Each structure stands twice: as structure tokens, then as C-alpha cells.
Structure 1
């Protein structure tokens, strides 16, 4: 088993993982520097960092880091009778000290773009300069055939793709189909299936979003959770070309990815009045 080849294989398949590596050791312990283990979202663990309590703890920590998509360097004292000022004491009797590096390997986020028109293409041109995995869905074969740079291209009806269950909670969704009708179908299906994306953005005008929200509250009820819904989409930075809109949307996604607040979102501006959130 070549663990480095496995990491490359999973990365190509857009499977996020944590690679755990023993980077430092002092005194006695069951792990040697350089030992490596990879941990997947499905609970599978491949390789070893020594077994016992340290490996059990490392697997538990890796699950947490997979959710937050972050890396970590942490030191462990393998002596349950002692305490260290920096790091964690584990229930072992070896007496040594081991430092593990948890490396998150995977995209910052998985993004689905419904609609491969001018804005969709401009978006991919921007997003693929960063570590995002992008899937574009469009019912028009001629659009998919000429599309460039996306990780995955899907030529099928929008709602049919959603019903396959590919989109997971925490993913990012951008809706810019060629028709208001299709836009509504996509968003309504997401709400109907109770998918909880990190971001669901729709390209639209203020009048369009007012009409959509009115019908949505009538159909799903006033208690429907739209906290993840951003429309009009993007940050308020100006510009109306596809490229400028793409930068506005990408900036909004970056702000959410990194948990940055205080930016002026377009969804907060409807003819100078607060929106419905």
C-alpha cells in the first residue's frame, strides 16, 4: 500500500481527507517519525501512527478537522500521570512525547453551479483559480459541450440532478439558469428535500426576489429557514458584466468560507430597504 498514491487518488476524486503524520518524537513511544495515517469522512482509516490511545485520539481529532476543513499541529505526552503546559496527555505509560501534524487535503468547498451561461462560465474562471471543486449543471448540451475549466460537467435536467442526492449539507449552490422558472424549480427542490447548504445564491433582480419570496413563504410557510439563501446574489461592489458579477459572487463565497463578517451583501439591499431575513 502506497499511502501517497492513495492521497493523490482521493484528491482526484474530490474525496476530502486528513493526513496524519508523526513529525516529532522525544523518549519512548509506539510511533516513529514519518509514520502516516489517512482518515476519511466515512470513518475509514488507512495506515498507522502507532496504535493504542494515540491512534484512537488521532482518528477522533481527524473527524473534527474534516468537518472544519482545517489543519492542526498538536503534541501529546504519553504518560497519563503527568500534565504538560502545551498539548494533551494521553492514557499511556510510555512516557515519551509525540507531535502529530493533521493536514486537511481537499477543496475549501464543493460548489454546484446551475446554469452554464455567461455568468456561470465567468464564475468558473474565477473560482478555479482557488481550491474549490466546481460542478456545472445545464440542460443544454451545446452549453456543456463548449464549457471550460469545471471539474465536473453534467448535462441533464436541473431537478433530476438534485434528486440524485449528490448535493450535501454544507455545500455551496449558485443558481443562474436561463429561466426564472428553472431557478425557482432548483431552489424549491433544495427546500423540499430539506438540504442545508452553506450557501444558496440566486442571480436575480430586486423585483424578482420579492415575488419569489412571497410565493415561497406562501408554499412552505413563514417558518421556512432561508438563512443560507443569498439573493440578490453577491457582495455590493458594483459592476454588471458577467466577469464583475462573478467577482462579486466569488467574494461573497470567500467571506462565508472564512467566516468573515461586516461585508455589505446584495441580499440586504432591496430598493434601499432591508430584505426579509
Structure 2
């Protein structure tokens, strides 16, 4: 969602743009309600609402909306029904709303949305279906009749705080950003924690860990990966993360079992209840035999996705292979 509105901000810098949003679905469809794509003044598209003939239909209509400014709803038939024009055979239907954004007010709104999401806040965006009203942010969640407006809660992406800006951290930022995480990196060494080494990071925190965590206080869904240069830094970070008012969704700690146990033992001496360690994954990552920083990054992000999506970490082929006598 952040990427979508960032693209919208860039598009509005040079002219009007159309924001296409899936506002209704029925049956089996390729994308969910709220999925978006942006079409800029040149007709170039960013994002997807599912591809194929259905998306092609939306892109064609978006060209008209760009010219006329007249909002419209596009119905996409994916039922595969015979003897009528369809755009796919998934089995369902999608309703897509096309809205032209233009001018400084629209660009300011898109910027406000990007900033809010980057700060880890949820936002309520209202897109009226009337011709005389433009999209706006509601201060509090509201309910409107679906024929009047599309009301959606824009959720910020999960934030991954990388504690320790070393070689593993650099690769982890790349892979986690690709997987949809917003990246924050902390290290008290500016020569390591900087935008040149971490171009994916929306937050580069070259400061002590306590201040860095405080600066992320509004982030509701925070994941933390401790890939520091030593035991003492793990311990300090863990103490502050475990006392965060909004508990971390995940805390992973790199290192051997011996190093992890040392940190656990030191945490116990501070008086923090051992139940606080329930969200700590140490040693960090899934066991895929990773050795290089790049492989370790893949291992860690695989575990992040597992926690986020509720997966098991098992091979998807395990059951079938076992049934075929493959071990």
C-alpha cells in the first residue's frame, strides 16, 4: 500500500493520475477488495488488480477517465460463463472504481497517506461515488452505505527493525523489503547505519537502541531482528524491546545456541518474567543450511513470513513425498 501511494505521489508531480481500486468481489477472483493500481498521465501503470483481460479492460477505461475526469465503475466478469463477454475463468466477479486524482490537494493527500503508513498508523480513506466529492481521510473510522462511498482502512506494512547494520543486516534489508516489510535499521555506527548501505530503509537510526525503539513507538506491528556484532548489544536491545508498550510481533536473535542461552540467562537476572521471551526466536531463522549473509537473510525472512502468515515452516511437498515413499 505504501508503494502504491508513493507511485501516486510521483505520478501527480507531472500530471493527473487514475487510481483504480477493487471495491467489490464475488466468488473466486485474483485480487482482494482494496487492491489498487495507478495509471499516470502517460498511461503507464504501476501495481496490479489481477492481470489478464480484466486488467486490460480497466487500463483501457482509465485512459478515458484521465481525459474526461469522469469517475466510473468497471465490472469484470471472471465467471467463464458461455455466450457472454468475459475477462477470465476464475469463477467470480470484480467491481473496480476508477478515480482521477489531480492537483496539489490530491498530491498532498497522497503524501499524507504515505507519511501515515510509514509511521505505522492505520488510516481511513473515503472515496465518494458522487461526482462533486473527492477522496478524503476520515479522522475516525466511519460507515457509509456502499452505494454512496467506498470506505477502506489502509493498513501500514509490518515494520522490520534490523538491530545491527552489518553484512547480514544489509542482505536482510533487501530480502525483507522485497517481501513487503517496511525497513528500519539501527546501529550506533553511522558508517554502517546510513542510506547508502540501506537504500530500502524508511528509517535509518544511527543512534543508541533505546532512542531508536522510542522513535518507532507508533508502529503497531513491529518485527525485530537482532543481528548485532556482539552479546552485549543483543542484551541491551532485547531488554528494551521486551518492555515496549506495544509488544513486538516477533523478535529474532542471531547466534549460536550458547550465545542465545547466555542472553536469556542475563535477561532472567534483570527480573523480567520469562513469559516475555515467548515472542523471541533464537537462534533466528529457519533451518535451511544457510551459511552466507544472503542465505541467512532468506532463512530469516522465511521465518518472518511464517510468523506473519501462520505457516508451519514445513516443506510443501512433505506429505506427497511421504505418500510416494520419498522419505
The TM-score range, normalised by the shorter chain, is 0.5 to 0.7
Partner residue, 2:70? none
CA 1:198/1:33 → structure 2, altered by over 3 Å: closer, same or farther?
farther
Indicate if the aligned counterparts of 1:199 and 1:229 stay in contact, CA closer than 8 A: yes
Task: Identify the match of residue 285 of structure 2 among 229, 234, 238.
Answer: 234
- Consecutive unaligned residues of structure 1, counting only runs of 5 or more, are 24-30, 46-54, 59-75, 77-96, 265-277
User: Cα offset for 1:3?
Assistant: 4.5
Task: Identify the match of residue 11 of structure 1 among 78, 99, 114.
Answer: 114
Partner residue, 2:167? 118
Partner residue, 2:135? 36
- Consecutive unaligned residues of structure 2, counting only runs of 5 or more, are 1-103, 315-327
CA 1:175/1:167 → structure 2, altered by over 3 Å: closer, same or farther?
farther
User: Cα offset for 1:142?
Assistant: 1.4
Indicate if the aligned counterparts of 1:11 and 1:105 stay in contact, CA closer than 8 A: no
User: How big is each residue's C-alpha offset from its partner over 1:225-277, in whole Å with a ceiling of 9 and x where there is no partner?
Assistant: 2221111111222211111111111111122222x23226xxxxxxxxxxxxx
Q: 2:213 & 2:236 partners in 1: Cα distance?
A: 10
CA 1:262/1:128 → structure 2, altered by over 3 Å: closer, same or farther?
closer
CA 1:160/1:253 → structure 2, altered by over 3 Å: closer, same or farther?
same
Q: Secondary structure at the match of 1:238?
A: coil
User: Cα offset for 1:115?
Assistant: 0.7
Partner residue, 2:224? 173
Q: 1:263 & 1:196 partners in 2: Cα distance?
A: 23
2:230 equivalent to 1:144: no
Partner residue, 1:2? 105
Q: Secondary structure at the match of 1:144?
A: coil
TM-score for the superposition, normalised by structure 2? 0.55
Partner residue, 1:220? 271
Structural mapping, 1:34-73, within 5 Å = 36-39=135-138, 44=139, 56-57=142-143
Partner residue, 1:20? 126
2:156 equivalent to 1:156: no
User: Cα offset for 1:195?
Assistant: 4.6
Q: Secondary structure at the match of 1:2?
A: helix
User: Cα offset for 1:34?
Assistant: 6.7
User: How big is each residue's C-alpha offset from its partner over 1:193-246, in whole Å with a ceiling of 9 and x where there is no partner?
Assistant: 555111111111111122222332343255532221111111222211111111
Q: 1:100 & 1:230 partners in 2: Cα distance?
A: 43
Partner residue, 2:312? 262
2:258 equivalent to 1:207: yes
Q: 2:125 & 2:275 partners in 1: Cα distance?
A: 39
User: How big is each residue's C-alpha offset from its partner over 1:111-133, in whole Å with a ceiling of 9 and x where there is no partner?
Assistant: 21111100100011112224322
Q: 2:106 & 2:186 partners in 1: Cα distance?
A: 33
Q: Say how many residue pairs are matched.
A: 206
Task: Identify the match of residue 98 of structure 1 among 125, 140, 147.
Answer: 147
CA 1:134/1:35 → structure 2, altered by over 3 Å: closer, same or farther?
same
Task: Identify the match of residue 297 of structure 2 among 207, 226, 246.
Answer: 246
Partner residue, 1:73? none
Q: Secondary structure at the match of 2:173?
A: helix
The two structures, once aligned, show a CA RMSD in angstroms of 2.9
CA 1:17/1:158 → structure 2, altered by over 3 Å: closer, same or farther?
same
Q: 1:193 & 1:56 partners in 2: Cα distance?
A: 30
CA 1:163/1:247 → structure 2, altered by over 3 Å: closer, same or farther?
same
Indicate if the aligned counterparts of 1:108 and 1:257 stay in contact, CA closer than 8 A: no
Indicate if the aligned counterparts of 2:251 and 2:280 stay in contact, CA closer than 8 A: yes
CA 1:33/1:247 → structure 2, altered by over 3 Å: closer, same or farther?
farther
